Amino acid sequence: MYYLLLIISPLLVLDSNNFVDLATEVQLERFEQQVGFHLANFSGLRVRKFNRTTWILDGDTELFVDLSDEYQFSLTWAHSSLGNNQWNDYPMKISKSPMCAFLNGPYKEYQPYFIDNTNFPRIGEERVCPFPKGRYWVRNLAPAGVWIPEALAGGYWRFTGSVSDVNDEVLIKYLLFMRIKRELD
């Protein structure tokens, strides 16, 4: 789930001017874990409407295993302009990488945008490995502008976070659906 969070690739070189002003409405719609309930249980994590204009993620989760480098993480985006389940893969992504490279890389870089709203590991000077098993909570986590680069079109977006093994078999899969409304939409 963190997964969830980690929407930005080290491969992406976007300067901060390219991120949207949140006047653009980012409406979270649904979070769902699809597989891997023997490894993690994120079914308690839900999208809720916080007030008229803000949707948040909130809930309690549990990771049953330490995620070390025998696991890999990736995050991909897909777009649907009409919300009719015709998803087109988007070229930006966090490419599959060993869990601890992810944790000490993109996760660490983007933790300021979510770390105050969760007890997920806080990465400081020292390298952290593995991502430790445990109970994790998320409270009132609203999307930050950095989640949504300006390049992303209005419409429906699906973020897919996957944990796979070294043979590329997907073990855990999370989906986060959201709608981005731009002024001109």
Ligand X SMILES: *[C@@H]1O[C@H](CO)[C@@H](O)[C@H](O)[C@H]1NC(C)=O
Give the binding site for ligand X (CB under 6 A): 37, 41, 43-44, 50-54, 60, 142
Selection from 35, 10, 49, 44 nearest residue 179 by Cα: 49
* Shortest separation between residue 126's beta carbon and ligand X, angstroms: 31
* Shortest separation between residue 1's beta carbon and ligand X, angstroms: 13
* Shortest separation between residue 153's beta carbon and ligand X, angstroms: 24
**Cβ-based nearer residue to ligand X, 27 or 43:** 43
**Cβ-based nearer residue to ligand X, 58 or 76:** 58
**Cβ-based nearer residue to ligand X, 50 or 87:** 50
* Shortest separation between residue 100's beta carbon and ligand X, angstroms: 25
Number of neighbours of residue 24 by Cβ within 10 angstroms: 16
**Cβ-based nearer residue to ligand X, 13 or 52:** 52
